[in-house]
A and B are shown apart, each in its own frame.
Chain A
Amino acid sequence: MDFLTIIQVLDSTIRLSTPLLLACLAGLFSERAGIFDIGLEGKMLAAAFFSAAIAAVTGSVWLGLLAGTVASLVLSGLHGLASITFRGNQLISGVAINFLAAGMTVLVAQDWFQQGGRTPSLIGGGRFSPLTLPFAEALRDVPLLGPIYYELISGHSILVYVAFLCVPATWWILYRTRFGLRLRAVGENPAAVDTAGVSVVGMRYAAVAICGLLCGIAGAYLATALQAGFVKDMTAGRGYIALAALIFAKWRPWQSMGACLLFGLLQAVALRYQNIQLGDFVIPVQVMDALPYILTVVILAGFVGKAIPPRAGGEPYVKER
């Protein structure tokens, strides 16, 4: 494996990590506020479809991004209604949202475009184009650092940079603002937050809305940047991998980035190599596919440091009367 191949695999790692990272941070906001969300997958899928559909119709990827985000926010609102207002089971609500998105996207896609549940391929302004960072061309021929800068850091779509900037932003919001303190408190001890005169319901809706926003960007990235258009079930379990990364990172922002990069690397390697030959021993591609899930189970089992979820997670808050 030469230097250029490594760069290419890492480059593909960054592109594949981006949707995972956005969805993972989305889940982080929601779960830190005590709302379990296994509907990340569905929200991403809905956003992917609506962003691709609107981008295909209008030719503007930004309108697509907006539409995708709105679709994701609507599903978030539904999740909030079920799990905050009506104090239903958050897990069941998440399952319902995943199926709703899986069914509705194909139904609407078939109705609008008649192409077997996909959108037309996006061209020109309908897609996010790669950005070339300053001096990338000029520095290209510098040994070692040149290719790293040109291939690895420069040349991604703007959403990739947004996703990675979201990591410090999330850290800052969670740990350095009053909003973040309250958000974390609502997930640990909602009664205390309520006693302090802060609306638990309001905080949780805010968290769920941020989750919807980030899932919307993640979905739009999938359909308008990573690929050119929507195909049926295109999220392909990424929402669940993001959930796995969130647990792997023990609900912390920087660690989330690490986990998403790791899982992205696994996807990139599986995509490029299929079966990996290590001397006489062959690692089948299925092992690479299953590895994120296996790692998560191991982490959850507490054999490598225990993953403890926010204490009030999954519990609807009932104000005392």
Chain B
Amino acid sequence: MDVMPKWAEVILVPLISLVLAAILSAVVILGIGEDPIAAVEIMVNGALGSTYGWGYTLYYATNFIFTGLAVAVAFHARMFNIGGEGQGMLGGLGVALVCLYVPWPHWTIALVAACAGAALFGAAWAAIPAYLQAKRGSHIVITTIMFNFIAAAVLNYVLVNLMRPAGSMDPATERFPAAVHLPTLHELLLPLGINFSKSAPANVTLLVAVLACVAVWALIWRTRLGFGLRAYGHSETGALYAGISPVRIIMISMLISGGLAGLMAVNSTMGEAERLVLNATEGAGFIGIAVALMGRSHPFGVFLAAILFGFLYQGGAELALWTKIPRELIVVIQALVILFTGALDNMVRMPLERLFLRMRKG
């Protein structure tokens, strides 16, 4: 049945899509009168040329691994969780509550508790759309979009009216206590004799993200639940016939997805800002869509795609610093990646399939 060999499916199609997106991005850069090759040089130097650059690249990548995995898990059950942004925001609220109101003796315990808090709040925010999809048939895409906006309003209310320290104008919580400070890569690598940049925000959460990749891989391909999830994604009627409950699959996959999206707040809120601010997610929930599409919903693919987007994010910031190209270039690149790897997938796939068919016959 499969027209293309597996390597073409897994490597060639995404690669061609990526090249197309890159070519168009270069055209855009040319169009605003800048040199694409010089731009790439600045991005590579800024994002990968120093441990400082790497520190930012990996920090962003950590966010995108979580949100990418969140979208990917939902994709396996053929659901489109566009609500990573809102789930991430609520995750931040969970982290803030855990860090501010419990006196933790050591960061390791605090990290575990914060992860639990973030995942719990993220999952809870995904639970209502999931329930409405499972029980009432409300389209998950629309409800999760609506929940993004509701989350923004909730966070706004909580920060302005409830959690803002007295006398402060800034809609943010007070700083988390020093005991819950997560070690940065600088602090982690110093005992090993590696002098990683001190000011870069990448922190121990990166390891949690890698663990999450492994856990998601094991869940999807090594457990009964993962099998049920994929079966439901392939054919709802088939899964039903095999005795898999759609309600259960929808609820569980969305809870896991929301939990993963919530976990990004451990990195951004506890690891970097060390207080909860408005718009702490900074669009990472949406980048998760591009990351999951590019990574073909496989945890390893998501990991690679997240690093790539981390590079684009940090590189784009450097571009905005040194050239006249605004940061929004990354948003354009992100759009092109989503367009080519997601919506226009068949445009790349159809000619390739024809090519492979001809090669097989010839």
Contacts and interface: CB of A to CB of B under 8 A. Distances in A.
Interface in A16-47: 38
A186 interface: no
Contacts of B356: none
A309 interface: yes
B344 to A, nearest CB: 5
A89 B142 contact: no
B185 interface: no
B153 A290 contact: yes
B139 A83 contact: no
Helix, strand, loop or mixed for chain B's interface? helix
A99 B145 contact: no
Given A117-B326, A286-B156, A111 B33 contact: yes
A99 B343 contact: no
A62 interface: no
Interface in A105-133: 106-108, 110-111, 117
Contacts of B146: 240, 244, 293-294, 296-297, 300
Contact of A82 (B139, B330, B339): B339
B332 interface: yes
Contacts of B143: 297, 300
Interface string B298-342: 000000000000000000000000001110111111111011001
B28 A107 contact: yes
A38 B289 contact: no
Interface in A275-308: 284, 286-287, 289-290, 293-294, 296-297, 300-302
Interface residues of B, number: 50
A86 interface: yes
Given A87-B346, A95-B289, A290 B150 contact: yes
Contact of A290 (B154, B160, B347): B154
A59 B183 CA distance: 57
Nearest to A243: B142
Contact of B132 (A108, A110, A243, A301): A301
Contacts of A152: none
A87 B349 CA distance: 12
Given A290-B150, A296-B146, A96 B335 contact: yes
Nearest to B146: A293
B328 A300 contact: no
- The residue among B139, B157, B343 with the most chain A CB atoms within 10 A of its own CB is B343
A155 interface: no
22 contacts: A82-B339, A83-B343, A86-B344, A88-B347, A89-B342, A92-B293, A92-B338, A96-B343, A98-B335, A99-B332, A103-B335, A106-B326, A107-B28, A110-B32, A237-B149, A244-B142, A284-B157, A284-B161, A290-B154, A293-B150, A297-B146, A300-B146
Interface of B: 28, 31-33, 80, 82, 128, 132, 136-139, 141-143, 145-147, 149-150, 153-154, 156-157, 160-161, 286, 289, 293, 324-326, 328-336, 338-339, 342-347, 350
Interface of A: 38, 78, 81-83, 86-93, 95-100, 102-104, 106-108, 110-111, 117, 237, 240, 243-244, 247, 284, 286-287, 289-290, 293-294, 296-297, 300-302, 309
Q: Give 8 nearest A-B pairs by CB, closest first.
A: A103-B331, A93-B343, A99-B335, A103-B332, A290-B153, A92-B342, A100-B335, A82-B343
